[in-house]
């Protein structure tokens, strides 16, 4: 049997996940390498030996045609990873730099390599294998440690004039609001990411003296998981934290709709697990902030892909 295969790589801050994927979205073989390396050539060495080992594992089952990589701050046009604060091996003299990642991998393994940012990869995965199959216009929002986005227009990824389109985690939702890692203030990411939820928790705990299960924890170390657990136990303040998050998300979504009029917004990432607590507030707020022509017409969908596979599938979808 000699079917066509592709290799998907999800480069994360902690680890990079690799998988060999069939046209149908089945992962035939997978492995993981650590991303916590200080030196670019060391990291490339581990990655290429993992790639070679995976390819030899599936040698009887098909031919690997190419490699798709999703990575933070990756540029589809240039094949680069640019100034990624969380990837130590992109640093030179203590500063993150521009790494020609696609070229470096391609030279080593002699296969075509395409890179894109991780949220775009997630959108590709959802469009190719997931809940967005058949939807030609949608916006993927990844709610994780940060907030990322991938925008699909008429069935194609939106890369923009420079390859950096779709940074919706950094639209301003609060003038002179919370300081963001990107240097700006009031970015959606500072409110709607896992870290944003934890910041909202600390703020709301400080702003009132209301009783809450969260007061048993050290405020400085509260995580979005703690807020979720408290909400599950019926804690009213914890529920309100998620409602406030949903309200902010919905308001931002309404403005995204005014831009590209998508059929759906697809939510992916760890925060989606808490949707029972923010979904209603988010829908209400989105529809309150839409004109008549869109009110109650834009679908909100949640990713249907298993989270551990989704990133690999998304990256692999790039390579087809």
Segment contacting a second copy by CB under 8 A, of 12-20, 29-37, 146-154, 271-279: 146-154
**In this complex, which beta carbon is closest to a second copy, that of residue 37 or of residue 90?**
90
Query: In this structure, what are the phi and psi dihedrals at residue 206, rounded to the nearest 5 degrees?
Result: -75, -30
Binder of a second copy out of 39, 107, 155, 259 (CB under 8 A): 259
In angstroms, give the least distance from the CB of 164 to a second copy.
Answer: 5
What is the maximum span of the chain, computed from C-alpha positions, in angstroms?
67
Binding of a second copy by 261 (CB under 8 A): yes
Closer to a second copy at the Cβ: 54 or 140?
140
Q: Does 153 bind a second copy (CB under 8 A)?
A: yes
Q: Which of 103, 263, 273, 300 binds a second copy (CB under 8 A)?
A: 263
Q: Which among 99, 107, 29 is positioned nearest to 62, based on CA atoms?
A: 29
Burial 110-142 (b: 16+ CB within 10 A, else e): ebebbbbbbbbbbbbbbbbbbbbeebebbbbbb
Nearer to a second copy, 175 or 208 (CB): 175
294 interacts with a second copy by CB under 8 A: yes
- Tokens describing residue 89: 């091996």
Around 110, how many Cα atoms within 13 Å sit in the side-chain half-sphere? 2
Window 94-123: residues binding a second copy (CB under 8 A): none
Among 28, 58, 104, 182, binds a second copy (CB under 8 A): 182
Q: Which stretch binds a second copy (CB under 8 A): 19-27, 148-156, 202-210, 215-223?
A: 148-156
Which span sits near a second copy by CB under 8 A: 16-24, 205-213, 277-285, 291-299?
A: 291-299
Indicate the DSSP class of residue 235.
-
Counted residue by residue, the chain has a size of 320
Assess 79 for contact with a second copy (CB under 8 A): no
**Among 161, 208, 221, 296, which residue interacts with a second copy (rule: CB under 8 A)?**
161
Neighbours of 232 (CB within 10 A): 13
Which of these segments, 44-52, 84-92, 214-222, 259-267, binds a second copy (CB under 8 A)? 259-267
Note whether 205 and 215 are within 8 A (CB).
yes
Q: Which of 58, 164, 270, 280 binds a second copy (CB under 8 A)?
A: 164
CA distance 119 to 145: 12
Q: Of 31, 48, 97, 260, which one interacts with a second copy (CB under 8 A)?
A: 260
- How far is Cα 208 from Cα 210, in angstroms, rounded to an integer? 5
Mask 184-223, x = binds a second copy (CB under 8 A)? Answer: x---------------------------------------
d(CA 258, CA 190): 22
DSSP state string for 168-217: GGGSBSSTT-SB-TTS-BSBTHHHHSHHHHHHHHHHHHHH-----GGGGS
Within 10 Å of residue 81's Cβ, how many Cβ atoms?
25
DSSP 8-state symbol, 233: T
Asked if 320 interacts with a second copy (CB under 8 A), we say no
Helix (H, G, I), strand (E, B) or coil at 273: helix
43 touches a second copy (CB under 8 A): no
Q: Does 283 bind a second copy (CB under 8 A)?
A: no
> Which of 27, 84, 151, 319 is the binder for a second copy (CB under 8 A)?
151
Query: What residue ranges bind a second copy (CB under 8 A)?
Result: 82-83, 136-137, 151, 153-154, 156, 158-168, 170-172, 175, 182-184, 251, 254-256, 258-263, 289-294, 297
């Amino acid at each position: 049997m000699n079917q066509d295969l592709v290799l998907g790589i999800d480069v994360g801050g902690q680890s990079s996940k690799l998988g060999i994927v069939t046209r149908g979205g089945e992962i035939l073989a997978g492995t993981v390498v650590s991303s916590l390396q200080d030196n670019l050539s060391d990291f490339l060495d581990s990655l290429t030996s993992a790639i070679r080992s995976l390819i030899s594992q599936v040698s009887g089952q098909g031919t690997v045609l190419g490699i798709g990589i999703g990575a933070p701050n990756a540029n589809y046009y240039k094949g680069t990873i640019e100034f990624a604060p969380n990837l130590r091996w992109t640093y030179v003299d203590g500063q993150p730099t521009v790494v020609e990642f696609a070229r470096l991998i391609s030279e080593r393994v002699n296969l075509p390599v395409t890179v894109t940012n991780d949220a775009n990869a997630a959108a590709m995965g959802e469009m190719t294998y997931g809940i967005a199959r058949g939807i030609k216009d949608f916006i993927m929002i990844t709610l994780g440690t940060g907030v990322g986005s991938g925008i699909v227009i008429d069935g194609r990824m939106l890369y923009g004039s420079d390859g950096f389109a779709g940074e919706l985690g950094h639209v301003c939702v609060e003038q002179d609001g919370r300081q963001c890692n990107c240097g700006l203030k009031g970015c959606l990411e500072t409110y709607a990411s896992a870290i944003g939820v934890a910041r909202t928790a600390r703020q709301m705990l400080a702003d009132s003296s209301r009783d809450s299960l969260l007061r048993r924890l050290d405020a400085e170390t509260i995580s979005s998981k703690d807020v979720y657990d408290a909400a599950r136990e019926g804690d009213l303040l914890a529920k309100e934290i998620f409602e406030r998050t949903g309200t902010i998300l919905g308001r931002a979504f309404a403005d995204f709709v005014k831009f590209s009029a998508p059929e759906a917004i697809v939510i992916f990432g760890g925060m989606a697990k808490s949707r029972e607590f923010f979904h209603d507030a988010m829908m209400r707020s989105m529809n309150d902030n839409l004109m008549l022509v869109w009110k109650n017409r834009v679908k909100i969908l949640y990713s249907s892909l298993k989270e551990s596979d989704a990133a690999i599938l998304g990256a692999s979808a790039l390579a087809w």
